[in-house]
Amino acid sequence: MSPSRLHGFVSCLVLASVSNAQSWRPETPAAVPPPRAAHAMATDVGRGRILMFGGAAGSSYLGDTWEYDGSTWSALTGPAPAARARHAMAFDAQRATAVLFGGIRGVGFNDWFGDTWEHRAGAWQQRASAHHPPVRFGHAMAGDPVRGRVVMFGGRTRSGTVFLADTWEWDGVDWIPRTPAHAPSARMGHAMAFDPSSGRVLLFGGLPLGGPAAGDTWAWDGNDWTVLAPQHAPAPRMQAVMATDERRGRVVLYGGSNGAPLTDTAEWNGSDWAPSVLTSHPELPTLPALATGPTGRHVLLFGGEDVNGVARAETWTYGSVAAVRSFGAGCGSPPLALHSANGRPVLGQALVLELAPVPVGAPSFVWLGISSATWLGIPLPLDLTTFGATSCSLYQDAAVALPCTPVGSIGSLSTVIPNLTIFANLELFAQGFALAPGVNLAGAITSQGLALNLGFE
């Protein structure tokens, strides 16, 4: 069928609603790492992989390595750094290498780390260098892809209650101590990420010695730190996490604590902070890990402790990520089912919905709606038995019906999702409908529902 009718419907929806804001979505990968907090992640966008190492769950420290490819987690084997938590990782894009430094395991004198490791081509390698930073934990690192450096700032070292205010850069061979004219105050538990809008490394918050939590924003240009004065800013906090959404040119901040757990999200656009207004979000404020998504299009969060201090193993994405979710159940024998025949509803790409089994020769349709909660003020799902469609249900508000093309016992609906950013994160609800004389008094059957979140790969 011509996509014009669907395009017109979607365009009207966008004009009538504010649906293209970013959102958090829980993922359901087939394999999941064990629960943890205080771990670290770094993203190799070129390979489409997120690397994760270590962390802690209760009193147990972890030394496992995992990769996420956008759909599932895979455990990696081989030599690796010692188990630890509160370490930092960043990706060196020019050398296609993840860099890890520091961390802690327990409270003994020998349980603080000052080692440097690189992960490249699927393997860890410990690196020796002429210079090396003091041991530390609670520090932050970020890759600067423009200058080909990994930048590290601050943390806590084991020489008493000493918080650090030092800046170091890893160039792939050595750690270079930097002595800028200006710098943030000594602190731990701050967050850092590369800001693609300005080409600088961004730092936010943290805990100075003696407190309270900081709420300042700084930028590193390779020579000096500059304190920024945005019109808006997140509340002061420690242990927040930040990552770069490369395709949108944004830095995303999540969670942390200012004496109470925080689960809010904010974005930095190169000059100011803006809070994200969300209908749902992770409840993992304490020491999760956040990284650029595998394609650079969004950010991904894994793990962290919930508000009760329990380590979790949840995977969440934030951004405009295309997704399909099935819900409810179809009726008929066998039940009518609707599915996406070619994957997720990605902007600019074809979407093919198939409905089966359709009685041969019978007309079939796909209903599209904007709500799975109500239809004409009536709560959904609505049992259609009263209307003669025994055991069938309505799962969406049926705003428009699109006819399917019959292919044997399959009804097929094909269209192209408009390649317009304004459509990103628009959620539609689809349900199949087919005439089936003699099956029930209504002579019709329905499928389960499909939630279609338009977005990027």
In contact, 329 and 390? CB cutoff 8 Å? no
Residue recorded with tokens 């393997």: 123
Residue 425: pLDDT above 80? no
Evaluate whether the domain defined by 4-13+323-453 bears CATH number 2.60.40: yes
More confident call, 121 vs 97: 97
Residue 83 has pLDDT above 60, yes or no: yes
Question: By percentage, how much of the chain surpasses pLDDT 90?
Answer: 81
Per-residue pLDDT, 363? 96
Degrees (nearest 5) of the Cα angle 373, 317, 84? 140
Tell me the average pLDDT of the chain: 92
Distance of CA 297 to the CA centre of its chain: 9
- Tell which wins on pLDDT, 16 or 92: 92
Question: Sorting pLDDT into bands at 50, 70 and 90, what band is 110?
Answer: low
Lowest-confidence segment of 40-49, 147-156, 273-282, 392-401 by average pLDDT = 273-282
- Residue 217 clears pLDDT 60, i.e. is over it: yes
* Domain 22-318: CATH class, spelled out: mainly beta
344 confidence band (pLDDT: 50, 70, 90): confident
Q: 191-204 as b/e, with b when 16 or more CB fall inside 10 Å?
A: bbbbbbbbebbbbb
Nearest Cα neighbor of 24 from 304, 319, 262, 277 is 319
pTM: 0.78
pLDDT-derived band at 419 (thresholds 50, 70, 90) equals: confident
Of 280, 293, 243, 232, nearest to 49 by C-alpha is 293
Indicate whether 161 pLDDT > 90.
Answer: no
Residue 18: the pLDDT is: 42
The pLDDT of residue 434 is: 97
For the residues 54-70, what does the mean pLDDT come to? 96
pLDDT at 13 over 60: no
User: Is the predicted pLDDT of residue 450 greater than 90, yes or no?
Assistant: yes
List Cβ neighbours of 188 (8 Å cut-off, separation of 6 or more). 137, 138, 139, 154, 155, 156, 163, 164, 206, 207, 238
Alpha carbon 442 to chain centroid, angstroms: 44
* pLDDT at 97 exceeding the cut of 60: yes
User: Is 349:324 a contact under the CB 8 Å cutoff?
Assistant: no
Residue 280: per-residue pLDDT? 84
pLDDT tens string 268-317: 999 999 999 887 899 999 999 999 999 887 899 999 999 999 999 999 99
Evaluate if residue 405 carries a pLDDT over 90.
Answer: yes
Mean pLDDT of all residues in 358-379: 94
The answer to whether residues 87 and 40 touch, using CB atoms and an 8 Å cutoff, is yes
Q: Which two tokens stand for residue 130?
A: 């002429």
Contacts (Cβ under 8 Å, ≥6 apart) of 240: 190, 191, 204, 205, 234, 253, 254, 255, 256, 262
Of residues 321 and 97, which shows the higher confidence score?
97
Rounded (10°) CA dihedral 231, 237, 243, 244? 0
Task: Record the tokens describing residue 45, joined without a space.
Answer: 């966008």
**Which structure tokens are listed for 266?**
């904010």
Comparison of pLDDT for 321 and 263, the residue scoring more: 263
- Over pLDDT 70: what percentage of the chain? 94
Residues β-bridged to residue 232:
none
Q: How confident is the model at residue 240, as a pLDDT?
A: 98
pLDDT in tens, 14-40: 444 444 467 898 999 999 999 999 999
* pLDDT given for residue 422 in this prediction: 78
Tell me the average pLDDT across 177-205: 97
Domain coordinates of the chain in residue numbers?
A: 4-13+323-453, 22-318
Asked whether residue 127 carries a pLDDT value surpassing 50, the answer given is: yes
The number of angstroms, rounded, from the C-alpha of 227 to the middle of its chain's C-alpha atoms is: 28
